[in-house]
Structure 1
Amino acid sequence: MLALADTCADGIGRKLLSQDIDALNPRLEPKSPIADDRIAKAANQLKRPPQAIRERYERLAKQFDRKLE
């Protein structure tokens, strides 16, 4: 079965949807909301501004029917 993260066109999206923010398995639980601490962790690990990561998660949430807290 194809994971949602595997359908992302770029590596950042795949990283954001993976549990360890590394584009590898395991993936995030599909119905678990994406929390602010997850956004902060991803921003730190990917060396990007938290607002940019939040905006990216918002787009992914619309694309894959996910929720942000």
Structure 2
Amino acid sequence: MSYNRQPVAEDPMQIWGAVGVLLILLLFVIWLFLPEVVYASCLILHTLWGLVDWGPFHNYAAPRY
């Protein structure tokens, strides 16, 4: 007597349905916290720009400043 279970084929529509539901929930949460998301993304971009804005790259990327 074997206790090995045979793999069950998954329906691709169920997988895409779950992905769609998760995407809709993610968009809803982003919509609820939109001001915080915008502030956090601006903070991250400003910090990253400050990390790379030095030396000759500054003259190339932002010649007017």
Pair in the same fold by TM > 0.5: no
Give the greater-gyration-radius structure (CA). 2
Q: Which has the higher helix share?
A: 2
TM category, shorter: under 0.3
Structure with larger RCO (C-alpha < 8 A, sep 6+): 1
